[in-house]
Amino acid sequence: MIDHIKLRVADFTKSKEFYDQALSTIGMKLLPDSDEGYCAWGMGEDPLFEIAKPNESNSISRSVHFCFRVNDQALIDAFYKAALAAGGTDNGAPGPRPHYSPTYYAAYVLDPDGNNVEVCLH
């Protein structure tokens, strides 16, 4: 079970805006303990996904793939639309992915740093 994911991002403000718009469509909210170099989103009080500025010991995260699971195709469609509107790049429009399973439905978007963000239902 995954507890949380953290990415180091090149442009903190741009990434924060991207993720806030995209993740709100699947029920994740920006948590109040954010500051100028770190922020997190969750479905309650616990952070599930975090971004932070790089530092001397941690460089920018690139070419990472991660997936958020939802329970409705409409949420995937909304995520995809919001992520593109927030500056993401198409990496796979919403639709069935029968090569994974007969009921797999997903969308893929590259974030501002080129990380592959997937939202799926199966």
- The pLDDT tens digits along the chain (122 residues) read 678 999 999 999 999 999 999 999 999 999 997 778 899 999 999 999 999 999 888 899 889 999 999 999 999 999 999 999 999 999 999 999 999 999 999 999 999 999 999 999 99
pLDDT at 1 (0 to 100): 61
DSSP 3-43: --EEEE-SSHHHHHHHHHHHHHTTT-EE-TT--SSEEEEES
If one counts the domains in the chain, the total is 1
pTM above threshold 0.85: yes
Q: Are 106 and 55 in contact (CB under 8 A)?
A: no
- Return the CATH number at 62: 3.10.180.10
Q: What is the pLDDT of residue 24?
A: 97
Q: Is the dihedral angle over the CA atoms 93, 94, 97, 101 positive or is it negative? A: positive
Query: Which residue range forms the structural domain that includes residue 12?
Result: 5-121
